[in-house]
């Protein structure tokens, strides 16, 4: 496959490229745009004109520098071995393939997709969406040889995108609805995905019926279909092996997989905990589940929310800490679909520990949450900040209030209030090698906040001390 006819280079080497606001020619989709999407559909061969790129709306060269536009990417594919279950996994590749283009940055997925095209790419001659469509078609066919024919339709005008956007949303809903019909105990195989390792080398998603991938795009059915057609590809089977802790969702097979795929960096995963051995997070999680030590509860914020969350931090700041393949107790990248899973963070106390969600998330999940709990979960419209949250939770008699007596001492609370809102760390274990013997020792910091410019840990030689 050649891209020598393109004015810009195309290849995996450009995947990590960042395009900042001042370097961009145009922005497509993203938080400033109301409607945008990307969708892959499997179609009968006769309905596809192979290689065709159709543009509805202004082309790149007709757009003003610095402007923002809607973007809808519809990729239609055909092939005798293709089935509908493969659509979501193919769709996830749009992210990767767009990022292969030197001069395109693509973030997120489904209806949160966000792209920037750099001024330098535009100046080199990358001035038409025809080129983007053609690159996508070539990459889809080359990287996924079971695709025989492909065509791409791009929507860049607000009025043209309405209908296809509505259609795309109905397809996402249909996929999510189906995913809710099965549970971990109904299956004997889990799946993994390493598509995000180019950004987060120690990250691998574990996809089970009760825990959809954190990007929200790949559920258990999708992963199963992908692993079946391409077992050596980025999606693969994980035989669960022995269940080591049912409530936490700890399986020998998952631990083994993550140890291998993270090159020994991560050894254990609790599928259903954000506080102990949480699932790693790459960067494309739909939302973040974060611990709020002040009330011993959890908050959820999604990436569409532009204000600060109840802990005083914007999504972007939390995302920086959460992502990158880390396992950070107290901050866990999740999909929206996982919030409605019956096993949602059940090891930490489950759905009843949720005390705050931004309204956008709450609106999306409310029909699936317990009716009596719903009015007790605050949004930005109910409580302005953390100082008012505690009182509000008491007023609505949130179930978390019952946990306070044992979890929060009055003394500690006053101290926290005096120090203002800070980053919650949850429970963090640090092992310091070479101190206190060959194995080092472990310091467990529970519900704590530390402010320090530096920490010096010195080995004190008792004999030297005596000489003084
Ligand atoms: Fe795969 Fe997970 Fe990345 Fe989604 S977030 S593409 S499931 S590795
Ligand atoms: Zn990712």
Domains of the chain and any CATH numbers: 12-179 (3.30.1650.10), 183-282 (3.40.970.20), 430-467 (no CATH)
Residue 415 has a pLDDT of: 46
pLDDT at 418 over 50: no
**Whether residue 195 has its Cβ less than 6 Å from ligand 1:** yes
pLDDT attached to residue 246: 97
Per-residue pLDDT tens over the stretch 70-127:
999 999 999 999 999 999 999 999 999 999 999 999 999 999 999 999 999 999 999 9
Nearest CA to ligand 1 atom 3: 196
Is the CB of residue 213 below 6 angstroms from any atom belonging to ligand 1?
Answer: yes
Which residue in 248, 235, 313, 309 sits closest to 279, CA to CA? 248
420 or 15, which is more confident: 15
In ligand 1, the atom with minimum distance to the C-alpha of 218 is 7
CA neighbor of 365 nearest in space, from 164, 171, 216, 162: 216
- The neighbour count for residue 313, using CB atoms within 10 Å, is 22
Nearest ligand 1 atom to the CA of 207 is 7
Asked if residue 464 has pLDDT above 70, the reply is no
Question: What's the mean pLDDT in 428-453?
Answer: 47
The pLDDT, as a whole number, for residue 444 is 57
Ligand located closest to 195 CA: 1
Report the sign of the C-alpha dihedral through residues 11, 16, 17, 19, in that order.
Answer: positive
Which of 419, 416, 443, 417 is CA-nearest to residue 431?
Answer: 443
pLDDT class for 2, splitting at 50, 70, 90?
confident
Q: How many A from CA of 424 to the centre of ligand 2?
A: 23
Mutate to test the pocket of ligand 1, among 92, 96, 261, 287 (most ligand atoms within 8 A of CB): 92
Q: Whose CA is nearest to atom 4 of ligand 1?
A: 215
Interval 436-445 mean pLDDT: 45
**Do residues 281 and 266 touch, judged by C-beta distance below 8 A?**
no
Q: How confident is the model at residue 445 (pLDDT cuts 50, 70, 90)?
A: low
Q: Please choose, from the candidates 384, 92, 52, 84, the residue with its C-alpha nearest in 3D space to the C-alpha of residue 217.
A: 92
Q: Stretch 39-62: mean pLDDT, rounded?
A: 98
Per-residue pLDDT at 406: 73
> Which atom of ligand 1 is nearest to 282's Cα?
5
Distance CA 168, CA 39 (A): 6
Minimum-distance ligand to the CA of 217? Answer: 1
Q: What is the mean pLDDT of residues 350-367?
A: 97
- Tell me: the pLDDT tens digits for 7-37? 999 999 999 899 999 999 999 999 999 999 9
| pLDDT cut 90: percent of the chain above it | 84
89 CB within 6 A, ligand 1: no
Q: Which atom of ligand 1 sits closest to the CA of residue 284?
A: 5
Nearest-angstrom CA–CA distance, 290 and 428: 14
pLDDT digits (tens, 9 = 90+) for 371-408: 999 999 999 999 989 999 999 999 999 999 999 987 65
Q: Are 117 and 103 in contact (CB under 8 A)?
A: yes
Listed as own residue / partner, the contacts of 457-461 with beta carbons closer than 8 Å and 24 or more positions apart are: 457/432, 459/435
Query: What is the Cα–Cα distance from 12 to 14, expressed in whole angstroms?
Result: 5
Q: Average pLDDT, stretch 231-250?
A: 97
Mean pLDDT, the chain, as a whole number?
90
Q: According to the model, what pLDDT value does residue 450 have?
A: 62
Near ion ligand 2, which residues have CB within 5 Å?
196, 282, 284
Tell me the ligand closest to 200's alpha carbon: 2
Q: Tell whether ligand 1 has an atom less than 6 A from the beta carbon of residue 196.
A: yes
Q: 3-state SS of the chain: helix, strand, coil percent to 5?
A: 35, 20, 40
CA distance 256 to 190: 13
Confidence category of residue 198, pLDDT binned at 50, 70, 90: confident
């Amino acid at each position: 496959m050649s891209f020598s006819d393109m004015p810009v280079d195309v290849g995996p080497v450009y995947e990590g490229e960042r395009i900042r606001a001042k370097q961009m020619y145009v922005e497509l989709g993203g938080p400033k745009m109301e409607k945008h999407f990307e969708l892959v559909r499997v179609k009968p061969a006769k309905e596809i004109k192979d290689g065709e790129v159709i543009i509805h709306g202004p082309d790149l060269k007709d757009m003003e520098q610095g402007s923002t536009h809607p973007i809808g990417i519809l990729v239609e594919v055909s092939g005798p071995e293709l089935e509908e279950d493969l659509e979501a996994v193919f769709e996830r590749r749009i992210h990767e393939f767009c990022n292969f283009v030197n001069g395109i940055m693509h973030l997120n997925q489904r209806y949160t997709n966000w792209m920037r095209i750099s001024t330098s790419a535009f100046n080199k001659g990358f001035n038409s969406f025809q080129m983007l469509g053609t690159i996508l078609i070539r990459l889809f066919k080359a990287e996924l040889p079971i695709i025989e024919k492909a065509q791409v339709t791009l929507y860049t005008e607000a009025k043209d995108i309405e209908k296809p956007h509505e259609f795309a949303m109905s397809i996402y809903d249909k996929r999510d609805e189906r995913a809710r019909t099965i549970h971990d105990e109904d299956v004997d195989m889990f799946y993994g995905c390493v598509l995000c390792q180019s950004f987060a080398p120690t990250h691998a998603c574990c996809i089970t019926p009760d825990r959809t991938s954190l990007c929200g795009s790949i559920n258990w059915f999708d992963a199963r279909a992908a692993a079946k057609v391409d077992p050596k590809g980025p999606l693969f089977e994980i035989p669960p092996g022995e269940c080591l802790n049912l409530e936490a969702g700890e399986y020998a097979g998952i631990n083994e997989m993550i140890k291998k795929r993270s090159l020994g960096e991560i050894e254990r995963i609790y599928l259903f905990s954000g506080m102990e051995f949480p699932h790693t997070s790459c960067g494309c999680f739909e939302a973040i589940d974060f611990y709020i030590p002040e009330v011993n509860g959890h908050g959820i914020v999604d990436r569409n929310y532009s204000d600060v969350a109840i802990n005083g931090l914007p999504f972007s700041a939390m995302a920086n800490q959460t992502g990158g393949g880390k396992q950070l107790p107290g901050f866990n990248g999740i999909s929206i679909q996982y919030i409605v899973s019956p096993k949602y963070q059940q090891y930490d106390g489950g759905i009843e520990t949720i005390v705050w969600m931004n309204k956008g998330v709450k609106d999306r999940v409310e029909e699936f949450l317990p009716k009596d709990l719903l009015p007790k979960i605050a949004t930005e419209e109910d409580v302005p900040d953390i100082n008012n949250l505690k009182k509000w939770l008491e007023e609505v008699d949130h179930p978390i209030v019952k946990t306070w007596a044992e979890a929060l001492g009055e003394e500690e609370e006053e101290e926290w209030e005096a120090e203002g809102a800070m980053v919650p760390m949850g429970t963090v274990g640090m092992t310091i090698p070479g101190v206190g013997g060959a194995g080092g020792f472990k310091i467990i910091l529970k519900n704590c906040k530390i402010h320090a410019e530096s920490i010096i840990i010195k080995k004190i030689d008792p004999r030297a001390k005596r000489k003084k």
